[in-house]
Amino acid sequence: MKASKIAYKPVGMALGMAAGLAAGALFKRTWKVLAHEDDAPDATDENRSWPEVLLAATLQGAIFATVKAAVYRAGAVGVRGLTGTWPG
């Protein structure tokens, strides 16, 4: 196993947790601005429409995927800077 891959494992785990927290906060803030509500609809909330629930889920998924990719990419670049090789 390459040294960069070994070095990246704990970094990747920490980055994953940080990405989840950051994405959750960003989604909550984004939903509040777009919908003028504090909480996004739950899929089982009978008082919410299909379009509301699906829009919230789509937006949440897009934000989580984007933040995760950005954070992992930055981590990989950092590991390459430290070890000289790309993790993976």
Query: What's the pLDDT tens digit per position in 12-47?
Result: 889 899 999 999 999 999 999 999 999 999 999 999
Contacts of 3 (CB under 8 A, 6+ apart): 83, 85
Contact between 17 and 72 (Cβ < 8 Å) = no
Question: 68 to each of 3, 16, 18, 38, 46, how far by Cα in Å?
Answer: 23, 7, 9, 23, 31
Q: Report d(CA 69, CA 85) in Å as an integer.
A: 19
Where along the chain do its domains lie?
A: 36-83
Average pLDDT, the chain: 91
